[in-house]
Structure 1
Amino acid sequence: MAPPWVEHAMWWHVYPLGFTGAERAALDPGAPVVHRLAHVERWLDYLVDLGLNGLALGPVFASATHGYDTVDHYRVDPRLGDRADLDRLLAAAHERGVRVLLDGVFNHVGEDHPLFRAALAGGPGSPEAELFRIRFDDDGPDWDCFEGHRSLVTLDHGSERVVDLVADVMTHWLDAGADGWRLDAAYAVPTAFWARVAERVRAAHPDAYLMGEVIHGDYPAFVAASGLDAVTQYELWKATWSSIAERNFHELVWTLGRHDGFLEHFVPYTFVGNHDVTRITSRVGDAALAELALVVLATVGGTPAVYYGDEQAYRGVKEDRAGGDDAVRPPYPPAPDDLPGRDVAPDGWAAHDRHAALLGLRRRHPWLHTARTRVVEVTNTRLAYEARASDGSGAALLVALTVDEAPWRLDVPTGAVVAAPAGPVDGPGPGPSVDVPGPGWVVLEV
C-alpha cells in the first residue's frame, strides 16, 4: 500500500534533459559542468500555481545520451549540474510542499558504464561479469540488451550483487531527500527482483513511493508480486485518447470497468501524456478535444500526472526513428514569464486555465483518488459517468463528455450543481437538466 501522502499527490512530469535544452550527448571528459537544474527550479511556483504538488523528474543521472543509458547512478549528469544543484532543487521543492519523484533505470545500463567496461576487460569469472548476462566465446563477448538496443546492457537480476547495487542507489537518493522512484521498464525485470529491492528500500524509507513502468499485462498481479505501490495505467491512457479521436466512448467505458477492478488492489499512476508518447493535443486533433482527456484524468481514480507542455496545449508527434522523441521532449523557456502571451498562444493559456480549474476541482475532492465510476449514459459520441467515493460517504460527481458538434441536453439529479465549467442547471422538462456544449464537457456535484 502506498504511503498516505500519495493520496493527495498530483505530479508535473518533466523530462529534464529536454526541458532545459541540454546537449544530446554527454559532455566531453573534463568539460565544465553546466548548471541547468536551476532552470527546473524556476518553474516550481508555476507547478504549484497550476494546482500540482509533485515533480516527477525524468533521468538526472550521468548518461551517454538520452538519460536512459546510465553510466553513473551516483552522479548528476554534468549537462544538468552537480550534486549541489540537485540538493538545491530538492530543498526548493520541499519548501513549497512539493514532493520529488526520481527516474531509476535499473533494467539496464549504458554500454559505457564502468562496471560493464570492467566486465568486458575482466572476462568470464571477473566480479563485474556477474552483474550482467554476458556470454564469452571465440567470437568475442555477447550480452543481453534492452529491446534490441545493443548499447543498453541488461543487468543480471538474478545476481545478489545487482540487488545490492539497485537497493543502494535507491536508498542513497532517498537519503538525499527524494520522495520516491519511477522504475523505468519495470515490466522487463522479474517481479521477484523488485520485491527484494523494495523490501530493502522500505526498511530504510517506509514513506517512499515506488511506482513501476508497466505497459501491458496483469497490473494487480504485478503490483502484488513486486511489492511496488503502483504501476503506470497505459490501458486508461490509450482508451482515453482513442475514444475521443475515434469517436467511440464504448472503449473508454470498457476500460473504466477494468480500472475500477485495479482500484480494488492498488491506485494506478494515471496520465494522458508522457515523454514516450505523442502529445494528447496532437492525438485528438485540437486543444478543445484534449480537454476531454484532462477531464477524465481529473475525475477518475488514480494518482494523476500532467506532462509538461500538455498544460500549454503543446503539439508533438512521437516517431519511431533516431531523434523521434525530440518533438515530445522540447525545451521550456527560462521562466514562466517567458511563455508566449495569451494574445500569441491563446490555446496554450486556455489549456493552462482549464488545467488549473480541473486540478483545483480534484484538490477539493480528495476522495477522487480511489473513486469508482458508474456509467450513466453512453453512445459512440457521448458519455456520462458518475465518479463516487469508495468510502461510503456518498460524495459523487457527474461527468459528461461529448464529441458531437450539437449541444447535448442531459437530465441530471435534483440538487445537482455545475462544478466546472460554470453553467446553469435548469428545466423546463420534467426534471432539471444541463446543456453540455458540443464538443465539450460538464462536471456536476450530485
Structure 2
Amino acid sequence: MSATWADHAIFWQVYPLGFVGAEREALPPGEPARHRLGQLEHWLDYLLELGCSGLALGPVFASGSHGYDTTDPFRIDPRLGDDQDFDALVAACRSRGIRVLLDGVFNHVGRDFPVFRRAEQGDPEARRWFRWGDDGPVSFEGHDLLVALDHDEPAVQEHVGAVMRHWLARGADGWRLDAAYQVPYAFWRAVLPGVRAEHPDAWFVGEVIHGDYAAFVTDAGLDSVTQYELWKAIWSALNDRNFYELAHAVERHSAMLDTFAPLTFLGNHDVTRIASRLEHPDHLGHALAVLLGVGGVPTIYAGDEQAFTGVKEEHEFGDDAVRPPFPDDPTGLAPFGAPVRELHQRLVGLRRRHPWLTHARTGVEHLANTTLALRSTGPDEAILVLLSTDDAPQRFPDLPHGETLAESTGTDEPLLLPPHGWRILRG
C-alpha cells in the first residue's frame, strides 16, 4: 500500500447530494450555486467523536441527477456549491487531521458531458472517447443516461489522469474508483503511475463486486478494493444462523491480507441499510465486532451508527431510502440512535487502540452453526472475537484468551456467552 496513512484510516462515508437534501436534477443554466457543501463542516467533530479519521465523499462533481452521470468532473455540482466551498471543507478537514476520499466516476459519463454532445454531432475525435454498438453508444449496465467511455483511447486516459491530479492538488487524499470492475486493468495501469508520480501519498480503492480481489489490485495497480464478499457473508450468516458461510468468507478475506488491505463495510449508498438487513436487531454488535475485529480499512456509512433504516429497491429513485437528508448538524438527530452510536464508538475505539488490525490475519478457532470464534493476529498481539446467534447460553471451548475488551453483556466467565451475545477478548 503506497499511502501509509491508510493503515490508520477509518472512514465515515457520506452521499453528499442526499445528505444535504439537494434537488434530484441539475440546476437550470444560470441558476446560482446552492452553497450546501459547508453543511458537512458541522459534522466533522461528530465524525471524530465517533472515532473515525477519514471522510469518504460520494460524488461532488457536476452531474445531471444522482452524481454518477457526470457532466463536468472539474466543477463542483452547483447543487452543492463551488470550488470555494470544496476548499473550505478540505481546510476544515485538514485542521482536524481528517483525510478526504473522493468518488471518481471514470467508467462512464452523463449524456450532457460536452465531449459526448460533440460525439453525437459527428465529431470524429469526440467519438473516439466512447464505445459504440449497432444501436448507438454503449451504456453502463443498461442505464441509457450513462454512456460508457472507451478506455483504450489515449485522450480518455489523459482526461481521467488530469481529473485525479486536479482534485488531489486541491487537497483530496485519494479516490474511490466507481465501477472499477467495468474498466480494463490496463487503463488503471496506464493512468495511475502518472498520478502517483505527482501525489505519492494518494490512495486508490476500486469498486469491485466479486471476483479475484487480490488479482484485481495487483493487475490494475490499485491499493485496495471494496470487500463485498465479506459484507454479504456477515449479514447473511447472522440471518441464517449459519456461521459456516461467514467462516469461509473470513478465511478468504484473511488470505487477501497477504496482498492488500480491503475496504470493509456493513453499508454504503448502494445497499440496504444494515439495520434493515439484519433480522435480529441484537446482531448489530456481532456485525460490528467482525467489521472492526478483522483486517481491512473499515468504513461506517453515515447514519448506520444511528440505526437508520432504509431498503434499496430496484426502480427509479430506489436508492432514496438509503440516501436520506440529514439535519443541519448533529443536534438535530433523534435520541433513539444514541445506543447504537455508543456501540459504534466502543468498537471503533477498540480498533483505534489496535491499529495493527488493519493488516491482521484472522483464523477460525471454533465453528458451529450458531457459534463462531475468530482470532485476529498481528506481529505482537491478538484478539479473540466470540459470536453466538443461539437462543440459549453457549460455552466455548477452552481457548487461550486474556481480558475482555468489549462485549454485549458482562459475565464472570469470558468463554460463556448469553443468548445472542458477543465478546472480544485479548488474544
TM-score, length-scaled by structure 2: 0.97
Distance 2:400 2:70 in 1: 57
How many positions carry a matched residue from both structures? 427
Structure 2 unaligned blocks of 5 or more: none
Which AA in structure 1 matches 2:8? H
Distance 1:422 1:224 in 2: 39
Matched, 1:131 2:129: yes
1:430 maps to: none
Offset at residue 292 of structure 1 (A)? 1.2
Aligned to 1:131, what secondary structure does the other structure show? coil
Which AA in structure 1 matches 2:26? A
Cα RMSD for the two superposed structures: 1.5
Offset at residue 199 of structure 1 (A)? 0.7
Structure 1 unaligned blocks of 5 or more: 428-432
Judge conservation of contact 1:76–1:83 (CA < 8 Å) in 2. yes
2:367 maps to: 378
Which AA in structure 1 matches 2:105? V
1:54 maps to: 54
Aligned to 2:268, what secondary structure does the other structure show? coil
Distance 2:215 2:281 in 1: 36
1:84 maps to: 84
Q: List aligned pairs for 1:39-188, cutoff 5 A.
A: 39-123=39-123, 126-134=124-132, 142-188=136-182
Gap change, CA 1:424 and 1:312, over 3 Å in 2: closer
Q: List aligned pairs for 1:215-364, cutoff 5 A.
A: 215-341=209-335, 345=336, 348-364=337-353
Offset at residue 227 of structure 1 (A)? 0.5
Matched, 1:409 2:409: no
Offset at residue 423 of structure 1 (A)? 6.4
Offset at residue 290 of structure 1 (A)? 1.8
Matched, 1:212 2:206: yes
Judge conservation of contact 2:408–2:421 (CA < 8 Å) in 1. no
2:426 maps to: 445
1:420 maps to: 406
Offset at residue 200 of structure 1 (A)? 1.1
Offset at residue 440 of structure 1 (A)? 2.0
Deviations 1:194-240 (A, max 9, x none): 11111111011010000000001111111111101010011000101
Deviations 1:35-94 (A, max 9, x none): 111111110000000000000000000000000000000000011110000000011011
Distance 2:312 2:364 in 1: 32
Offset at residue 418 of structure 1 (A)? 0.6
Offset at residue 285 of structure 1 (A)? 2.4
Judge conservation of contact 1:243–1:251 (CA < 8 Å) in 2. yes
Aligned to 2:366, what secondary structure does the other structure show? strand
Distance 2:38 2:247 in 1: 43
Judge conservation of contact 1:230–1:269 (CA < 8 Å) in 2. yes
TM-score, length-scaled by structure 1: 0.93
Judge conservation of contact 1:424–1:434 (CA < 8 Å) in 2. no
Judge conservation of contact 2:62–2:76 (CA < 8 Å) in 1. yes
Moved more, 18-27 or 434-443: 434-443
2:356 maps to: 367
